[in-house]
Structure 1
Amino acid sequence: MRGILFATGLICGLIFSAAETLAFEVEATQVFGPADPQRVLSVLSTTDIAVLAPVITGYLARNPGLGLTYVMATSQQVHRAIAEDAAAFDLVISSAMDLQVKLANDGFALPLPEDLIAGHPSWARWRNLLVSVAQEPVVLILSDQALLPGEPVPRTRRELIALLRDNPDRFRGRVGTYDPAVSGVGYLFAAQDARLSDTFWRLAEVMGRLDAQLFCCSVDMIEAVSEGRLLVGYNVLGIYAGSADVDRVTVVELEDFTLTLLRTALVPQTAAAPGAATDFLRYMLSADGQALIASGDGLVTVEGAAFDRNPHLRPIRLDPGLLANLDPMSRSRFLAEWRAAMEQP
């Protein structure tokens, strides 16, 4: 269970005024660099520490005397930390593209230098405030126990619906997906699914009839599938699915369409060291930085050609359309439909 962090003063190496009280949930923290750094860069992120550790280590090797404090939280808590708590982080990296666009649109992000974004693909940045550092598919995962001998792997949502619908006893209580009411990235995926195809709501109804288990995080879903507690995990982040036990889990990029997430970064208005944050971000986007990101734990570098080679991949675009799903009334209606699908008799 995640602990809730209430603090004033020194928090994870970050100093706040005594008047501030922060209450966002933190999953993990790690300090990189020398034991007594001359300067400290603070990063708030949804990405597991191990995934970005290579690029962090590579950057610090080029900057002796610099330390980096990495704080990991869920996408909803990352947004809360910046939008509500005004937490003084230098760089924010999140998988919830819509929440990142909202932070930038609502005035919480500093402009990025023109030379940093000039060479970046237009579809992988938003204005001069938000930029993608990696991309990854959103996949289906199946336990080795999910299919009977000779039974084909479902390659489309229609085939997945048929498999679940025709085998209720096998799959009841053993299908998992994100809870969009709890997970920011889960809500993003569900909203994008619904926009691209009406099969999403048919699938949601089938999962509801099978008493689907709802999760906050891909890692928890993958663990449940790897251990056989779940047979199916739907809309799992590809970066974490790729690290699952290959002998027990099959990863499927659905051929009707596979959403492709962009992990994005911004420098918040509250940054104490915006120059250092921009420098680190520039390194992440460099050829050396992208190579180190790819050498981590499954992240894919920003590459438009991937969509030409794999036409089933559908990028979630960084555009104002992401804000429409966050409108309170739209979100409320969507979640009401979701609950109705999940709570069928």
Structure 2
Amino acid sequence: MTLGRTIIRLCAIVATMQASSALAEVFTFPPMRTSQISDPEQSLLAHVTPSAVIYGSADIGAFSPVIEAFQQDNPFIGVEYHQLQTLEMYDMTLSQRANSEPNADLIISSSMDLQMKLANDGYAISHQSSETQALPHWARWRNEAFAVTQEPAVIAYNRAFFREHDLEPPRTRDDFIALLTKHDDLLSEKVTTYDIERSGVGFLFLARDERFFPGIWDFVRTLGQSKVKLYSNTSPMLEKIADGQVVLGYNLLGSYAETFSHRNPNLGVILPDDFIVVYSRIAIIPRDARNPDLGARFLDFMLSVKGQSILQNEGNFNPVRSDVPQSPFSSLIFDRYGERVRSFPVGPGLLVYLDQAKRERFIRRWQDALLNRR
């Protein structure tokens, strides 16, 4: 991309963000070309639908490379990316359907359970292509819901702090409990994780932990005793760990942590030795999409070998397809530690996490375990 085009894009992004609603940050990527071409399909798309509207929970910094690569292949199509919280995306989809308003052309959410509910309740349309068929069976459901990434939950820590105090960062959940118990004064108010009442991803991670780690509630009680700092997003936790405001994080998104560690070597990233929870972002084409053909075109690009490679190499989103050459980080997870991976298959089984009675019991237990810090 040229410097001039970069400046134009940045100006467009800033202007759109200033005019956007309180719910979303809207990032506009104008078409790379605007004159007509001889390709009838491209010409039709340029006349009727100049922009693909995407609702997504991924940070724009990590997701913009795949948008720009898509536009390299589709220069007459603009992209409007609405960066939203997962619950906001879900609520907007319900509201827009109820009010007969057009929805996005594609929704990509990190809340697997909410996306699965939309698909199961009839809010998604079917799409089948050579790219969707290339996905492993577990990564697609009824050609309506598609896993587009695989992302591990990791432990992150401040390297300088651990060196200064001659501490070993925890490599298992039992190690984590032992570290906080032994150094409770040193690590008080220095630990962070998701607030599962506000973070769908955080809730899924902890629910998966409960299934595979019998000591999970002892773990949560130890976090409470350490006056854990709770956040709904990954980025602020990584920033605070890197600059030393906190020094240890649990169940953070590995895609963001790995990317952040490349820019800030003071951030250490650990794949737990006992087991690794891996979740996926799920994409659906909404039934009330403005332009479902554009949503399908963008989805197919993301699921292509090229798109999956860009998601991996530029955003550290591990690919779902098995025929994509793996990065060192992906290879470490799925080759070296493959038997430790605990994934979420795409399907109705995810709906168990939305059972309101079970969810309320789970959150009450979480609150009780953290009671001494509330």
Normalization by structure 1: what TM-score?
0.88
CA contact (8 A) 1:189 1:235 kept: yes
Pairing partner for 1:195 from 207, 211, 218 = 211
**Distance of 2:91 and 2:248 partners within structure 1:** 31
1:248 and 2:245 matched: no
CA contact (8 A) 1:55 1:289 kept: yes
Aligned to 1:236: 252
1:307 and 2:334 matched: yes
Aligned to 1:101: 116
Q: Equivalent residues in 2 for 1:1-345 (5 A)?
A: 25-26=23-24, 28-34=25-31, 38=47, 39-86=50-97, 88-113=103-128, 115-144=130-159, 145-146=161-162, 149-245=165-261, 246-303=264-321, 307-310=334-337, 311-344=339-372
Letter in 2 for 1:266: I
Judging by fraction of residues, say which structure has more helix. Answer: 2
Change (3 A) 1:147 1:341: farther
Secondary structure of 2:204's match? helix
The more displaced of 190-199 and 169-178 is 190-199
Q: Identity over aligned residues, as a percent?
A: 32
Letter in 2 for 1:107: G
CA contact (8 A) 2:31 2:71 kept: no
**Distance of 2:119 and 2:162 partners within structure 1:** 42
Shift of 1:62: 2.0
**Distance of 2:61 and 2:30 partners within structure 1:** 15
Shift of 1:149: 4.8
CA contact (8 A) 2:156 2:270 kept: yes
Shift of 1:253: 0.5
**Distance of 1:283 and 1:100 partners within structure 2:** 20
Secondary structure of 1:260's match? strand
Secondary structure of 1:243's match? helix
Judging by fraction of residues, say which structure has more strand. Answer: 1
**Distance of 1:319 and 1:83 partners within structure 2:** 20
Shift of 1:277: 0.8
Secondary structure of 1:293's match? helix
Aligned to 2:325: none
**Distance of 1:61 and 1:151 partners within structure 2:** 48
Shift of 1:302: 1.2
Secondary structure of 1:101's match? helix
Q: What are the Cα deviations for residues 199-242 of structure 1, in whole angstroms up to 9, with x where unaligned?
A: 22111010011111110101011111111111111110011111
Change (3 A) 1:174 1:153: closer
Shift of 1:309: 3.5
Secondary structure of 1:317's match? coil
Change (3 A) 1:307 1:295: closer
CA contact (8 A) 2:31 2:79 kept: no
**Distance of 1:171 and 1:285 partners within structure 2:** 42
Higher Rg? 2
CA contact (8 A) 1:33 1:60 kept: no
Shift of 1:24: 7.3
**Distance of 1:55 and 1:244 partners within structure 2:** 18
Q: Give aligned pairs, total.
A: 326
RMSD between aligned alpha carbons? 2.3
CA contact (8 A) 1:307 1:314 kept: no
Letter in 1 for 2:223: M
Q: What are the Cα deviations for residues 27-52 of structure 1, in whole angstroms up to 9, with x where unaligned?
A: x2211133876411100000111222
Q: Which runs of 5+ in 2 are unaligned?
A: 1-15, 35-45, 323-330
Secondary structure of 2:118's match? helix
Shift of 1:131: 0.6
Normalization by structure 2: what TM-score?
0.82
Q: Which runs of 5+ in 1 are unaligned?
A: 1-11, 14-21
Change (3 A) 1:303 1:259: farther
Letter in 2 for 1:344: N
Change (3 A) 1:147 1:64: closer
